[in-house]
Structure 1
Amino acid sequence: MTEPLKTLPVDVISIQSQVVYGCVGNSVAVPTLQKMGLNVVPVPTVMFSNTPHYPTLYGGALSDDWFSGYLQGLHDRGVTEQAKAILVGYMGGPSQAGILAEWLTRLIAVRPDIQVIIDPVIGDYDTGIYVNPLMTAAYLDRLLPLARGMTPNCFELELLTGRQITDINSVIAAARTLLTGRTQWVVVTSAAPGSSGGSENELRVIMVTRQKEQVFSHPRIAIYPKGTGDLFSAALTGYLLKNQTLPAAIEGSYGDVMATLERTRRYGYGELLLHDR
């Protein structure tokens, strides 16, 4: 009698958008995590031809039946027994968020050690809200209480907390209101962009934990391809799984983003270039 075949080793289950062309969502998270030597299973929430800033767009959200089936399939195959982290990004709508929240709740009940990292993708200052407007409440009510850590940008932090962000101290105060339940840390990207005390040529990332806060600054590279937040959250997840401290993981992640932006600018592309040609 032959022994049963083993389940493939999986480090990260990445649940977010996917595009045919471009580098956002799983289309950037998967190669980023694989480059770090981690095995990743991508679960798409939407499948688009490209991001919506192009003149044409095709595709849409996965049906609730398909989405819930994909998650159930991971349980059926034994993947959820061994995955070390769940990375959550762009969601297709509030109903998906509800399905995912129920799945995560069941998983956390048997795997309280699993890292759940959520990038609450809602929008940004230059684009406004680009998801279903009900997703802000869905994140707050259903998903964020299940997160060990989260990576909102400053615009998203304002929406999630209902607070106006004017400077570093207001970023920290707003982020602290999200440190409830399981949540141990909030890392805010593009933090306090209009505040004084910094240079127009730099951006900030602000880490807030239950014990402390820390401000990181990095150069501003004046190109604006989509997907930098997805790259950051994927790299951060990877560095944490490599047993880096949170501050070291943040430094490594924005270092990766800066290197990718420099490479993209050098070649003149409109989408992130993840590797040298």
Structure 2
Amino acid sequence: MQGVLSIQSHVAFGHAGNSSAVFPMQRMGLEVWPIHTVQFSNHTQYPQGWKGNVFQPEHITNIIKGLKDIDVLKQCRALITGYLGSPAQCHAVVDAVKQTKQANLGALYVCDPVMGSPKKGCIVAPGVADVLLTQLMPMADVIVPNQFELAQFVGGEIDSLEDAVKACKKALTMGPKFVLVKHLHCVSSEKFSMLLAYGNQCYLAQRPQINFDRDLVGVGDLISSVFTAGLLKGWYPDAAFKHCNEAVYGVVKRTKQLNEWEIQSIAAQQEFVLPTESFDLITCELSTNHKVKMAKKKWRYSDGHKCAG
């Protein structure tokens, strides 16, 4: 039985961290093996606060050892990490990635480098960002940063689409094979923008911006998981990216329709299988004068599966 290791935070109520990431991958047909870095009652943006604990790094180490003892690490197709509660947890993840890749050379490491967002009430422990930047992101096959996290990784400001494309190109020389910028807010205030770069390819995906009184939590975890599931299903990276954009939009739209604050992954679960809306991908190419040339991506469909045309 092949599966995906997902090492992230977990909340008892609502959808953030593994509570956001695990079900979509299962709904898309994958087995998922979750390891929690924290267990909280709810996500940290509630004004009433939250209860729970950050687990010791040995929690990760011991579970990985147990999986190794029953000889299933070789069946791990991907390892995803999100929120990490301490530098020691980060180092435990470094070891977990190494052991997983030793057992299965083809396993992907997908790193969502959560570095904290004071605006959202998400604060990471001192030292976590440093380990993410110097160890975990360079060893990852796929990184899923937001605009701020990508800027931190490449060591430069990102204030435009041109800056973002250049930053993605630079990031691809620093270890990762894929860069998915899960929120590129400098491009548009009316559309939610994401960027995918791999090889010589770069694509912009946009969907209508849906505003909430309070920012949703867990959408980034949703993006990482749905994109990873698409890759593991054998889709072309651009097809997995397009599906991810459309599926996540469907979930966010349903959340708004239901007048909820917690993302409604269960109510909108069919979106993970067959999104109800479709949005074009835009190819982005840097010209000789460092301006971005854009064009719509052409698609063909074969047997109901999206394939690059």
- Give the TM-score normalised by the residue count of structure 2: 0.81
In 2, are the aligned partners of 1:123 and 1:156 still within 8 Å (CA)?
no
Within the candidate set 76, 85, 95, 1:102 is matched to 95
Aligned: 1:150 with 2:143: yes
Q: Tell me the CA shift for residue 67 of structure 1.
A: 2.1
Matches within 5 A, 1:149-168: 149-168=142-161
Distance 1:70 1:110, change over 3 A: closer
Q: Tell me the CA shift for residue 110 of structure 1.
A: 4.0
Bigger mean CA offset, 172-181 vs 225-234:
172-181
Within the candidate set 196, 200, 205, 1:207 is matched to 196
Greater strand share, structure number = 2
Structure 1 stretches lacking a partner, 5+ long: 1-8
**% identical aligned pairs:** 29
* Equivalent AA in structure 2 for residue 237 of structure 1: T
Please give the per-residue CA displacement for 1:181-227, whole angstroms capped at 9, x wherever unaligned: 65211010211x234xx4x3202111122312121111111123200
* Equivalent AA in structure 1 for residue 4 of structure 2: V
Distance 1:46 1:267 in 2: 29
Q: Which residue of 1 aligns with 2:53?
A: 60
Q: Which residue of 2 aligns with 1:38?
A: 30
Aligned length: 265
Please give the per-residue CA displacement for 1:146-187, whole angstroms capped at 9, x wherever unaligned: 211111011211222231110011112222232246521101
Distance 1:208 1:188 in 2: 9
Q: Tell me the CA shift for residue 124 of structure 1.
A: 4.0
Q: Which residue of 2 aligns with 1:185?
A: 178
Bigger mean CA offset, 15-24 vs 208-217:
208-217
**Secondary structure class of the residue paired with 2:267:** coil
- Give the TM-score normalised by the residue count of structure 1: 0.90
Distance 1:127 1:273 in 2: 19
Indicate the RMSD between aligned Cα atoms, in angstroms. Answer: 1.8
Distance 2:220 2:256 in 1: 17
**Secondary structure class of the residue paired with 2:171:** coil
* Equivalent AA in structure 1 for residue 227 of structure 2: L
Structure 2 stretches lacking a partner, 5+ long: 269-309
In 2, are the aligned partners of 1:261 and 1:272 still within 8 Å (CA)?
yes
Distance 1:143 1:75 in 2: 21
Moved over 3 A (4+): 124-129
In 2, are the aligned partners of 1:136 and 1:160 still within 8 Å (CA)?
no
